[in-house]
Structure 1
């Protein structure tokens, strides 16, 4: 797994992918957090990083699939898939290597936003007048969200040899599981089942963690979705053996 992880991470940083991802994310977040008047932190009545944590999931819906779309789709198109799986590694180790490399890249892009915390901390009146515990919880929520979207992106890349299709499938799946389920639950036809339905979506658990409710149910939800996605990836890639 370490070999694949290093190879993938090296590929990201030796090309423009890593730098484009970081620049796009940071510029977009900078505009929403500091420039656009509707969401600017500077226009808020109190010190907070709410724009960062409310907008990041929607940016990640496009950014993470753009990172993961090449993971297996490129290997299939280039005809190097069989060569990859001739290595003395279990399929799941290869999947995990690619998964962790993509996730680390996403977290690298997120890391510079800690400057936002320092800036808001300094701007608070009095200085430091902000809810640090809630911000820590929100960052933890973003890490789990990124890990889940990355797993979805890896699975989408495994089921096709076309990177564009892999990208579109991942975007659709991320949107459906994040915003789609919560929107479905908000329709006034479910009577007392709306809350139960909303619990199937990422948005419900992400918001809970962002409020500091880092309990076992929220963590188990994220880990379950990640495990299911990676298991489906292994099953998809394993099907090549059945076709022979």
Structure 2
């Protein structure tokens, strides 16, 4: 697993992929949060990173499928997957190595955003007048969200030889699990008839819950279970080559 992790990290940073991902995330969030007047935190009137935590999942919805689309699809297309599986590694180790590498790249992209927190912390009246608990919970939510998105992206990549198809499939799945259940719960037919339960099946509800600053074990278990489920499906997808 460690060898796969190192191989994937080297692949990200020996090409432009890793640098482009980090740059795109930071430039887009920076423009929306500090440059564009309609969304600028400087014009928001409150010392909060709420707009960032609203924006970031929408960017990750596109960015993480783009990171993961090559994970297996490229190797299946070039035949490199056959060389990979001849190594003394179990399928789960291959998947976990790629999972941790993709997640590490996302975490590296998130780390510089701590500067946003410092900026708002200093601009508060008085300085430090910011909901630290909610901010920590929201960052934790972004980490769990990224884990689930990466697991979904790897599954999509393992199902096809075409990277674009893998990207579109991962995008559709992440979009559904983040927005889809909330949309279903908002339909009039579900008002007072299971709408809360339906919303709880989606990622957005649990992400919001973590953003309140109270770490609920139900939210943590939800994200860990969803991530494990899609990793398991990816392992099963890889094992199909033996059938």
Question: TM-score, length-normalised on structure 2?
Answer: 0.98
Which residue number corresponds to residue 236 of structure 2?
Answer: 235
Deviation at 1:191, TM superposition (A): 3.3
Q: How does 1:130-145 map to 2 (within 5 A)?
A: 130-145=130-145
Which residue number corresponds to residue 150 of structure 1?
Answer: 150
**Deviations for 1:82-139, whole angstroms, at most 9, x for unmatched residues?**
1101100110000000000000000000100000011111111111111111101110
Q: CA RMSD in A?
A: 0.7
Alignment partners' CA distance in 2, 1:227 and 1:93: 13
Deviation at 1:190, TM superposition (A): 1.1
Question: TM-score, length-normalised on structure 1?
Answer: 0.98
Secondary structure of 1:57's match?
Answer: helix
Which residue number corresponds to residue 17 of structure 1?
Answer: 17
Residue 116 of structure 2 corresponds to residue 113 of structure 1: no
Alignment partners' CA distance in 2, 1:220 and 1:45: 35
Alignment partners' CA distance in 1, 2:191 and 2:202: 18
- Runs of 4 or more off by more than 4 Å in structure 1? none
Which residue number corresponds to residue 212 of structure 1?
Answer: 213
User: Is residue 182–residue 198 contact of structure 2 (8 Å, CA) maintained in 1?
Assistant: yes
Deviation at 1:213, TM superposition (A): 2.6
Which residue number corresponds to residue 122 of structure 1?
Answer: 122
Alignment partners' CA distance in 1, 2:201 and 2:46: 33
Deviation at 1:184, TM superposition (A): 1.1
User: Is residue 185–residue 191 contact of structure 2 (8 Å, CA) maintained in 1?
Assistant: no
Which residue number corresponds to residue 58 of structure 1?
Answer: 58
Which residue number corresponds to residue 188 of structure 2?
Answer: 188
**Deviations for 1:140-178, whole angstroms, at most 9, x for unmatched residues?**
000000111000000000000000000000111110000
Could you tell me which runs of 5 or more consecutive residues in structure 2 were left unpaired when the two chains were aligned. none
